[in-house]
Homo-oligomer: A and B are copies of this chain.
Amino acid sequence: MSRFMNPRFAALRPYVPGEQPREMRYVKLNTNESPYPPAPAVLAAVSAAEVRRLNLYPDPDCRLLREKLAARYGVGPENVLVANGSDEVLNFAFMAFCDAESGVACPDISYGFYPVLAALYGVPLREVPLAEDFSLRPEDYFGLGCPVVFANPNAPTGRAIRPAQVERILQNDPDHVVLVDEAYVDFGAESCVPLVSKYDNLLVSMTFSKSRSMAGGRLGFAIGSAGLIGDLEKIRCSTNPYNINRLTMAAALATLDSDDYYMENCRRIAQTRDRTAEQLAKRGFSTLPSLTNFLFTACPEMSGEQLYQKLRARGVLVRYWNTPRLKDYIRVTIGSPEEMETFLAAVDASREER
């Protein structure tokens, strides 16, 4: 830290993303990307004509994109915010709705970015332990008197709760924002978006990075009451009003026109996931039930880190965490069926070697 930095950031430990090897020689199952490319319409939309217009600013209101997202999700454009990835949604939401007095509650095991944002903005963090089986107990969040954020389905566990359960949380503290991070919702879970019209304290965050094959394009969005979205817009326009570039905007519009392609890919990924889970069960792994594009699974005789190392040596990247509750597990992104065969073969070879 330089002598010029605000001392309140002295203890700040930035988020550490999963490794992004620059050489592509790994089977990359570590950052929950889609194994499938964008739809053909996206390739057509990022056209030479669009690149030629890069000298002009994008629409700072993202009007077309917000309208199209609104139509897709059955809400109004005033209920939609778009952002440079859903991390930016989270960033805006922490700024807008949390502070040193409010604090913020989140599961002890969830997306690692929440504690980073809490530390960045000096928001006291109330970590609520998940149950022994890594499920989220709605009643643990009743009447905490502070904003709440959780991923549903959760990461890295893969478990989800039903909207009716989220509704109980919303009802039990109507005076604080409940931010439901639905980054992984398209792989089989149920979205809370239909609750937005009923609860003005509900904010749902989503991303094109997982189910819509656009991790490289950076597009996230939030759906919520017009009041909450207006607040986030105010923050967006006070930090970076041109946050969505022209090429991402064009790609995102074409993505929404190809919704069937992406939802079909999600079904394929869910099938591959369930088959992979079966294969792991046959091998004695204990795997959490997943409604996402990854599996959280523990090998009977190796720690997550050990298995990670052995898989890496065989060209397969997965992710592990060295914390007490997670250390037995690895998180494996669901790739193509062929990639999962490679993964399983690498698992078998890693275990034989012992």
Known A6-B97, A38-B51: A56·B239 in contact at CB below 8 Å: no
Q: Does chain B have a CB within 8 A of A25? A: no
Determine if B33 and A238 form an interchain contact, defined as CB atoms under 8 angstroms apart: no
Determine if B57 and A216 form an interchain contact, defined as CB atoms under 8 angstroms apart: yes
Stretch of A7-15, A69-77, A127-135, A296-304 with 4 or more beta carbons under 8 angstroms from chain B? A7-15
Stretch of A40-48, A164-172, A271-279 with 4 or more beta carbons under 8 angstroms from chain B? A40-48
The range of chain A's interface size is 35 or more
Known A2-B225, A238-B117, A240-B84: A245·B230 in contact at CB below 8 Å: no
CB distance from A79 to the nearest CB of B (A): 13
Stretch of A152-160, A207-215, A312-320, A322-330 with 4 or more beta carbons under 8 angstroms from chain B? A207-215
From A209, which residue of chain B is reached at the shortest CB distance?
A: B57
Determine if A230 and B55 form an interchain contact, defined as CB atoms under 8 angstroms apart: no
Find residues 202-242 in chain A having any chain B CB closer than 8 Å to their own CB.
209, 213-218, 225, 227-228, 230-231, 233-242
The CA of A305 and the CA of B58, in the complex, are separated in Å by 25
Determine if B54 and A14 form an interchain contact, defined as CB atoms under 8 angstroms apart: no
Q: Which residues of B contact A63 (CB under 8 A)?
A: 22
Q: List 22 A-B contacts (CB under 8 A).
A: A1-B234, A3-B175, A4-B97, A4-B227, A4-B228, A9-B235, A12-B234, A14-B233, A14-B234, A14-B238, A37-B54, A55-B213, A56-B215, A57-B209, A58-B218, A91-B240, A117-B239, A215-B242, A216-B247, A218-B242, A218-B243, A247-B247
Nearest 8 pairs of A and B residues by beta carbon: A2-B227, A14-B237, A216-B246, A55-B213, A218-B245, A247-B247, A54-B216, A5-B231
